[in-house]
Amino acid sequence: MRRLAVIGVVTVFGFIFLDSYVAMAGAIFVAGATLACISPLSLALQGIVLEPKDLSRANGMYNAFYAAGMLLGPRISSFLFARYSGAVMLAHIAALWALFALFALVYRADDPRAAQSEPLSRVRSNLA
């Protein structure tokens, strides 16, 4: 998740400085690919890091934040684009990616691989 977030920040922020249509299309492809991976990975990680009794609450929170982003995101982005510029809008999106990267860094102890409290093979066997 942290790697995806860093790739997303760099790609979206770098888009501001691109002039070539082909480079822009490549940046959109990379940014979209990182964004598309975040949702299924985060849901899968919920199943690993949370106790089964907390899954419904965590899923509810996930859905609430996702819905808020889907409802407010386009309005905020279009306001920034219309009021200021496309570069400001892209910087705003890159800042959101950076906040996600910071969030993932702060909560990295919840990552089963980073925690080292339980070998990953045991985590995988518990899933089976």
Instruction: Kindly report the pTM of this predicted structure.
Output: 0.69
Report pLDDT digits (tens) over 72-89: 999 999 999 999 998 999
Report pLDDT digits (tens) over 33-84: 888 888 888 888 888 888 888 889 989 998 999 899 999 999 999 999 999 9
Closest CA to 39 of 84, 76, 4: 4
